[in-house]
Amino acid sequence: MDALYRGLALDGRVRLFVLRLTETVREAARHVETRPTASAALGRAMAAAVLYAAGTKTADAIHLLIAGDGPLGRVVADAFRLPDGALGARGLVERPEIDLPPRSDGKLDVGGAVGRRGTLVVARELAGGPPYRGTAPLVSGEIGEDFAFYLLTSEQIPSAVGLGVLVAGDHTVEAAGGFWLHPLPGAEGEVLEVLEARLREAPPVTTLLRRTPFPEAAAQALVGEAGHWETVEPVRFYCTCSEAKAARTLRLLGPKALEEEAARGRPLEVRCGFCRRRYTFPPAALRRLAEAVRSGAEEGRDGT
C-alpha cells in the first residue's frame, strides 16, 4: 500500500517524511502511457507534490509545474487532501513518448528529458485563504534537486530531498517514492552537517523503498536511527476531473463554435489528460452550453 510516513529524528531536531508511491505512479503512468524516462520524471514530480502536501497541512491542494527546455515538455503533478484523510495524487507529462538513453551510471536521464534550464512553479490552494504561488529556476532538471532548491530559496527551508522511480524491463513502474528531511528551527547548522554526511553514504531511493521494515529501515539509512513516527497517511491515485469541468472547457469555444458542432449532428468528446476518462456531449447538450454561454455574455453586457 502506498503511504506517507511523517516523523522526527535526531532527538526531535529533524522533520522526516518518507513516501512510498509505487502503485500511484504506476497507475498514473498507465493512464498517460509513458515510456521509461517519462515515467521516471512523472513519478518524481508526483512524489515531490505529495511530500510537499504532507508538509503543508493548511493547503487543500498542491499543484506543481516543471517547465524545462528538454524534449519532455511540461511536467505537471497535483496532490490533494481527500475527505477520508488520505492523500490523492495525479500527474502528466507533455510528451509521454520521450525515452532517452541511460546516463553513464546506468540511471534514467531525467535531467536530460526535463532540461537543465527552466522553472519550477508550486501553487498551493489554501483552506479559507488566497492561493499561494512560488517559483524557482531549475538547477539540474533531476526534480529532487530542483525541489530542494525551491524550498531553500522560496520558503527558506534548508532540506534534503530524494526522489526515485525504478522502471522494469516491461516499462512498468516497479518502485517509486522519496523522502524529505529538514532541520527544525534552531537546529540547522550542526544537523545539516550530520545529514549531508549520512546522505552521501545512503543507497538510492528505490533501494530504500524495498528495505524492511519500512519506513524504519529507510530512516536508519538516512539518519542513522529508526526515527519516531507520528502519522501514516495512505496515498492513492486520484483525479479531480468531472463532467462539469469538461463542460467548462467546452464553453471556452464560444456559442458560435458550439452551435456549429451541434449542427454537425455528432457528439463532441472531452478527454481528461490525467486519467484519460472521456466525457461525451451530444448535440443537444452542446446547444444548451451555447445558450448558457450566450446568456452569460448578455448578462455581463447588461451589468447584471
> Which CATH number characterizes residue 13's domain?
3.55.30.10
Q: Is the pLDDT of residue 187 over 80?
A: no
pLDDT of residue 297: 53
Averaged pLDDT, 186-207: 84
pLDDT at 299: 42
Same domain, residue pair 232 and 250: no
Together in a domain, 209 and 260? no
Q: How many CB atoms lie within 10 A of CB 15?
A: 18
Residue 151, CA distances (Å) to 100, 159, 178, 202 in order:
28, 7, 15, 21
Q: How many domains does the chain have?
A: 2
Which of 195, 216, 237 finishes a domain?
A: 237
Which single residue is written with the C-alpha cell 496532490? 79
**Mean pLDDT of all residues belonging to the chain:** 93
- Residue 201 class from Cβ within 10 Å (0-12 exposed, 13-18 middle, 19+ buried)? exposed
pLDDT of 303: 44
Kindly state whether residues 188 and 251 are assigned to the same domain. Answer: no
Both 215 and 249 in one domain: the answer is no
The predicted pLDDT at position 198 comes to 85
pTM of this prediction?
A: 0.93
β-bridge mates for residue 74, sequence order = 67
The lowest-confidence range among 115-129, 163-177, 253-267 is: 115-129
205 and 232 share a domain? Answer: yes
Tell me: do 139 and 211 sit in the same domain: yes
Domain extent for 85: 3-237
Do 279 and 141 share a domain, yes or no? no
User: Does residue 295 sit in the same domain as residue 160?
Assistant: no
Task: Note whether 288 and 187 are same-domain residues.
Answer: no
List pLDDT tens digits, range 265-301: 999 999 999 999 999 999 999 999 999 999 875 444 4
Query: Which residues neighbour 97 within 8 Å (Cβ) at sequence distance 6 or greater?
Result: 35, 38
A 10 A CB-CB count for 96 gives 20
Residue that finishes a domain, picked among 218, 237, 256: 237
Sign of the C-alpha dihedral computed for residues 250, 255, 256 and 259 taken in this order? positive
Same domain, 199 and 271: no
CA distance 76 to 32: 12
Do 22 and 98 lie in one domain? The reply is: yes
For residues 188 and 261, state if they share a domain. Answer: no
188 pLDDT more than 80: no
* Confidence tier at 304 by pLDDT (50, 70, 90): very low
What is the percentage of the chain residues whose pLDDT exceeds 70?
97
Report, as an integer, the average pLDDT of 115-135. 91
In the block, cell 534537486 appears at: 145
State which H helix or E strand residue 52 sits in: helix 36-55
CA 93 to CA 99: how far, in whole Å? 12
| d(C-alpha 77, C-alpha 103), whole Å | 24
pLDDT 10s digits, 37-92: 999 999 999 999 999 999 987 778 999 999 999 999 999 999 999 999 999 999 99
What CATH number is given to the structural domain containing 251? 3.90.1280.10
Alpha helix locations (H) across 156-254? 188-201, 205-208, 216-223, 243-251
Residue 34: predicted pLDDT: 98
Q: Which of 213, 237, 261 is at the close of a domain? A: 237
DSSP 71: T
Kindly tell me if the per-residue pLDDT of 126 is higher than 90.
Answer: no
